[in-house]
């Protein structure tokens, strides 16, 4: 008995109990401090996601309670011509916008990566459009695309060409929005610039000793070394292109003849213009599955084209 008592009151046992108590207190404090974020995540993120999944199987117009309809919305989605047209518009916009935006951003990044006087000013100038609110940008481009006094049409007339009804033509509406989208290449330019500055200069010096041309250095050194960044911008570009909404909503409202009716705009119209919340939730989950599938496909296809330095074995 004495041995048990002496063991229970030993300094080691007391320190162990004290450490366990401190650990429990730290754990309690941890959950206490993250509770505001955790509560916000549960209320404003997780609950809307789960509730939208439930609504996608219901008929809900906000005024009356949701009515369970099973997979009726998904069956209707497959047969909805507007859904397929909005998907086609979104895919075409992505195929036009993404290569142009990424190539222009990379070109600007390589240009401002040169150690010349005043480059910091040019970096700021090229990045500045990216922080201008999209509503203000859309209104400005509506003026640029104006048929009578728009800057683009004034330039076309000055060289003897006819004015183009950019936003009023089914043929030119999507190219107009693609042209406008290049206004925001500054964000990717900054990302590429950071990646370019991380490329070891010793690789370029060794290539110059071997007599490599500028194109060879770009193709054999620059592109492989920044390929993880290119993959990141491609994935984020696809996600962003499939979520294009504000400029089409402000400038064309999906017209003319639904030429700029993108998926998110169609989702918005279904939810807030036609009050078909259940069907809008179905569109949202369809858009999520499409983006998820494209992301997985891009990651799988890029596994052999992307160079990761830490994966190389000596």
CA atoms of 298 and 314, how far apart (whole Å): 28
Q: Identify the sign of the CA torsion 234, 136, 179, 83.
A: positive
Nearest to 86 by CA among 270, 236, 297: 270
Token couple for 305: 């084209």
Tell me the pLDDT of the chain (314 aa) as tens digits: 444 444 555 666 666 676 678 888 888 888 899 999 999 999 999 999 999 999 999 999 988 999 999 999 999 999 999 999 999 999 999 999 999 999 999 999 999 998 888 888 989 999 999 999 999 999 999 999 999 899 999 999 999 999 999 999 999 999 999 999 999 999 999 999 999 999 998 999 899 898 889 899 999 999 999 999 999 999 999 999 999 999 999 999 998 999 999 999 999 999 999 999 999 999 999 999 999 999 999 999 988 888 776 555 44
Candidates 222, 259, 250, 283; CA nearest to 83 is 283
- 219 with 110: CB under 8 angstroms? no
The whole-angstrom separation of Cα 235 and Cα 225 is 18
d(CA 305, CA 228): 9
For residues 55-88, one letter each, b for 16 or more C-beta atoms within 10 angstroms of the residue's C-beta and e for the rest, the string is: bbbbbbeeeeebeebeeebeeebeebeebebbbe
Angstrom distance (rounded) from CA 228 to CA 237: 14
Model confidence, pTM: 0.87
Beta strands in 171-302 (DSSP E): none
| Whole-number Å distance between alpha carbons of 256 and 254 | 7
């Amino acid at each position: 008995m004495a041995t048990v008592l002496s063991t229970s009151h030993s300094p080691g046992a007391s320190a162990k109990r004290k450490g366990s108590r401190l650990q429990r207190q730290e754990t309690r404090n941890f959950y206490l401090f993250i509770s505001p974020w955790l509560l916000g995540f549960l209320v404003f993120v997780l609950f809307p996601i789960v509730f939208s999944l439930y609504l996608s199987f219901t008929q809900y117009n906000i005024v009356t309670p949701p009515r369970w309809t099973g997979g009726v919305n998904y069956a209707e989605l497959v047969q909805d011509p507007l859904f397929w047209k909005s998907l086609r518009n979104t895919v075409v916009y992505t195929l036009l916008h993404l290569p142009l935006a990424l190539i222009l951003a990379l070109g600007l990044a390589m240009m401002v990566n040169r150690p010349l006087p005043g480059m910091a000013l040019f970096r700021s100038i090229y990045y500045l459009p990216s922080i201008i609110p999209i509503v203000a940008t859309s209104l400005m481009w509506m003026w640029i695309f104006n048929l009578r006094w728009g800057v683009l049409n004034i330039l076309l007339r000055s060289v003897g060409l006819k004015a183009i009804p950019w936003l009023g033509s089914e043929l030119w509406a999507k190219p107009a929005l693609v042209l406008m989208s290049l206004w925001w290449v500054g964000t990717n330019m900054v990302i590429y610039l950071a990646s370019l500055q991380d490329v070891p200069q010793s690789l370029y010096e060794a290539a110059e000793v071997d007599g490599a041309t500028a194109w060879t250095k770009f193709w054999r050194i620059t592109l492989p070394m920044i390929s993880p960044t290119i993959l990141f911008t491609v994935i984020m570009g696809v996600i962003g292109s499939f979520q294009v909404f504000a400029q089409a909503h402000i400038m064309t409202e999906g017209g003319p003849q639904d030429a700029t009716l993108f998926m998110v705009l169609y989702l918005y119209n279904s939810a807030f213009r036609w009050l078909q919340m259940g069907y809008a939730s179905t569109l949202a989950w369809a858009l999520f599955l499409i983006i998820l599938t494209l992301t997985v496909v891009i990651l799988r296809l890029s596994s052999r084209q992307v160079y990761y330095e830490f994966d190389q074995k000596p």
